[in-house]
Structures are given as C-alpha cells and as structure tokens.
Amino acid sequence: MAEFNSYLLGKISKSVGNITLVYTNRKNIAKAKVFKRKDHPTPEILEQRAKMKTLVQFGRRVLPAVRKGFAGVGRGTAFNAFVALNMDKVSLGADLKATIDYGRLLLASGLLVTPRVTVGYDEELKSYTFTQMAQQAEEGFASLTDKVYGVLLETGLLRVRIVALNNRGVAGETEYALPEEWDASRVEAYCFATSPNGRMVSDSIHLTV
C-alpha cells in the first residue's frame, strides 16, 4: 500500500491491472490486489478434510438426531459440535476412504447422566424393544422428568428414527417396528436423555442389539 498526491488524477477510485486506487482521509491510496494461491496440502490436512467431508455428509442425513442430541453444546451450532466431537470416530483407508466407527459414534453430548437402556430385536415380529430402568434424581445432572430417547440408525440408507421412551424416573418397555425398506442387519441403536425443555443433554450410548 502506498500514498501519493496526484493533481492530474484528482480524487480517484478505480482499479488498473493489479492495482486498486482509492481516495480516503484526503489521501490517494494505491493497494496491490491479493490473489489467492493454490495451497499444497500436507497428508495430515488431506486426512482432516476427508474425515470432515464424511461427517458433514453423514450429519446432514441424520440431522434430526443431531439437532436434538447436541442442543446447547458450546458456542457454535449443534451441527458443528457433532462434527468436531466425532472427528476421532472416523478412520481412513486406502485412497483416503473414510469409515465411521458406529460403536463409538456420538449422536448426543452433554453433562446429564446417561440413561440405563437396553434394546432387543424380534426377527419374527420385526420389532425392536427398548427396556429401561428407572433412575434416581441427581441435582443438576438428572431429573425424574428428563426425557429419554432411543435412536435407530440404518447405516446403509443413512436414515434415523428417534423413539420417545419413558421419562428417566419410569421403568418400562417401548416397542418400535422395523421401518419398511430397512435392513435389520445394518441397524445400530443408541440412547440419550434430555432435560424436559431439551436444553441439556446427556452423552449418547451405543446399544448392543
């Protein structure tokens, strides 16, 4: 950037080649344009990009679960929190092909106590049964009225179903039929809890079907 006085040009604001001329504070200023340079990413950067791309694409397909499970996390959006907290749940193979570790995947994250839930699948009825145990209240971290949710994820279609279970203080069973077009062999199950207003969340737990 350079200052100059020009009686011939006067007060000017225009671009000539890679130079931009502006008049400000009673001065003529010449600025060189900055052109973007192609970077030369390191292997680490390429791996980071591959993981992020995979999580962004996956997150968009399971957005209803992400929005509910990452409410109020950090200063960013729920989606950004989902991506950041799951970067280490993605592994890379040949040609930077990414694979998500569904057993470690977080579909919710927060300070609440995790619920106590198991799930089973009846092949004849094609139905899932979520079984939960009642929990005690813990000030600031668990309320008897906390909402508990089960999540079914079909990893082939990349579809989720959120199943409302009993409140934290209530034991019981909740059945849910296998959605049409879903392959039961590709279904992963999770659960998590939220406060009654949905602003606080627990970490999600991967359930063995």
The predicted model scores a pTM of 0.78
Q: Bigger pLDDT: 5 or 182? A: 182
93-112 pLDDT, tens digit each: 888 889 999 999 999 999 99
Residue 3: predicted pLDDT: 46
| DSSP annotation of 134 | -
Question: Per the CATH hierarchy, to which homologous superfamily does domain 43-207 belong?
Answer: Immunoglobulins (2.60.40.10)
**Where in the chain do CATH 2.60.40.10 domains reside?**
43-207
CB atoms within 10 A of CB 52: 16
Look at residues 203, 209, 58 and name the one whose alpha carbon lies nearest to residue 126: 209
Residue 71: predicted pLDDT: 85
What is the side-by-side order of every strand in the sheet holding 127-132? 117-122, 127-132, 172-177
Residue 9: predicted pLDDT: 46
Question: Among 21-30, 43-52, 71-80, 146-155, which is the least confidently predicted range?
Answer: 21-30
On average, the pLDDT of the chain sits at 87
- Is residue 49 within a helix (H) or strand (E), and if so which, with residue range? helix 43-61
Residue 21: predicted pLDDT: 60
**Average pLDDT rounded to a whole number, residues 186-198:** 97
pLDDT at 7 over 50: no
122-154 pLDDT, tens digit each: 999 999 999 999 999 999 999 999 999 999 999
Which residues are CB-neighbours of 108 under 8 A, at least 6 positions away?
A: 65, 68, 69, 70, 190, 192, 194, 201, 202, 203, 204
Residue 72: predicted pLDDT: 67
